[in-house]
């Protein structure tokens, strides 16, 4: 097999591995988000752990992306392709067995990414619902007051009331 294609296949295998972990982490996040309600510390911890894992994996994919792109550029140059729109288009120009090997990996990446996109949309719905719930909950707890009253050490209301601690990011 062409060494440049072999290198690209290796890069895509790493992608598949990362995406597979991302799907797993997103499912964990979904479990934590499903039926979310404030006041369940254990659930908050599980959600925070899932968030951290997802952030770590997204960063890894972002870091890995340029290398895959570089490997694809090398393949394109070695086969005299000055420009290519997508990796699928690039694969279509390759001879067998390089084309089949590349297509197999691209198919894996595509299906995993589509699954990930669907999962993330569902999770997004759950997260938005949770935040709406938190908003309603907060208005109940604060009785509609949007600015929390805080006090200094002498018991007087603070003039430099910190803001943002209760800002909802819906």
Partner 1 sequence: MTTLQHILSITNSGLQTSQAVVASASRNIANANTPGYAHETLPLSSQLGGLGVVAGTAIASRNALLEQGIAATSARLGFYQSQTNQLDSMELAFNDLDGTGLGISMRDFESAVSAVAANPASITDRGQMLESARSLAATFASTRESVARAANDANEQAVSIAQEINSLAQQVAQLNSRIRSARPGEERNSLISQRAAVIDSIGGRIGVDVVPRSDGTVSLISSSGRPIVDSTFPATLAVNVSPPPASEARVEFVGEGDTRLPAGSVGGELGGLVEFHNDIAQPALERIDELAYSFMDAFNEAHRSGFTLNGATGYDFFDLPSGAQGAASKVALSRDVDGHPENIAAAADLAAIPGDNTNALVLQGILSQDGVMADGSSVVNAWETLGSSVSHTLLRTQAGVDLEQASLDQLENLLASETGVNIDEELIRVTQANTALSAANTVLQELQTMTDTILGMVG
| φ, ψ (nearest 5 deg) of residue 4 | -65, -40
Per-position x/- string for 66-85, each x denoting binding to partner 1 as judged by CB under 8 A, each - no binding: --xx---------------x
Distance CA 54, CA 33 (A): 14
Question: Would you call 5 exposed, middle or buried from its count of C-beta atoms within 10 A (0-12, 13-18, 19+)?
Answer: buried
Q: Which of 13, 17, 65, 146 binds partner 1 (CB under 8 A)?
A: 65
Which residue of 2, 51, 81, 93 would you call a contact of partner 1, by CB under 8 A? 51
Burial class (CB in 10 A: 0-12, 13-18, 19+), 151: exposed
SS3 54: helix
Burial per residue of 72-86, b for 16 or more beta-carbon CB atoms within 10 angstroms, e otherwise: beebbeebeeeebee
Question: Using CB under 8 A, which of 8, 9, 75, 87 touches partner 1?
Answer: 87
Q: Judged by CB under 8 A, which stretch of 2-10, 74-82, 122-130, 155-163 contacts partner 1?
A: 122-130
> How is residue 135 written in tokens?
């908003």
| Residue 89 interacting with partner 1 (CB under 8 A) | yes
Which tokens belong to 164? 């943002």
Q: Does 39 bind partner 1 (CB under 8 A)?
A: yes
Q: Is 3 in the site for partner 1 (CB under 8 A)?
A: no
Contact call for residue 27 and partner 1 (CB under 8 A)? no
- Which spans of this chain sit near partner 1 (rule: CB under 8 A)? 15, 19, 22, 26, 29, 33-39, 41, 44, 47-48, 50-51, 54-55, 58, 61-62, 65, 68-69, 85-89, 106, 109-110, 113-114, 116-118, 120-134, 136-138, 140-142, 148, 165-166, 168-170
């Amino acid at each position: 097999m062409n060494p440049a294609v072999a290198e690209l296949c290796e890069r895509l295998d790493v992608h598949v591995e990362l995406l597979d972990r991302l799907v797993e982490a997103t499912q964990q996040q979904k479990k934590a988000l499903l039926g979310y309600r404030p006041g369940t510390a254990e659930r908050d911890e599980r959600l925070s752990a899932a968030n951290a894992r997802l952030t770590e994996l997204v960063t890894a994919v972002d870091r890995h992306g340029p290398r895959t792109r570089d490997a694809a550029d090398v393949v394109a140059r070695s086969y005299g392709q000055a420009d290519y729109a997508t990796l699928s288009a690039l694969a279509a120009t390759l001879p067998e067995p390089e084309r089949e090997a590349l297509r197999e990996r691209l198919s894996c990446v595509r299906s995993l990414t589509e699954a990930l996109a669907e999962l993330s949309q569902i999770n997004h719905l759950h997260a938005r619902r949770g935040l709406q719930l938190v908003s309603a909950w907060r208005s109940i707890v604060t009785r509609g007051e949007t600015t929390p009253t805080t006090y200094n050490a002498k018991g007087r209301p603070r003039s430099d009331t910190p803001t943002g601690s209760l800002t909802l990011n819906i």
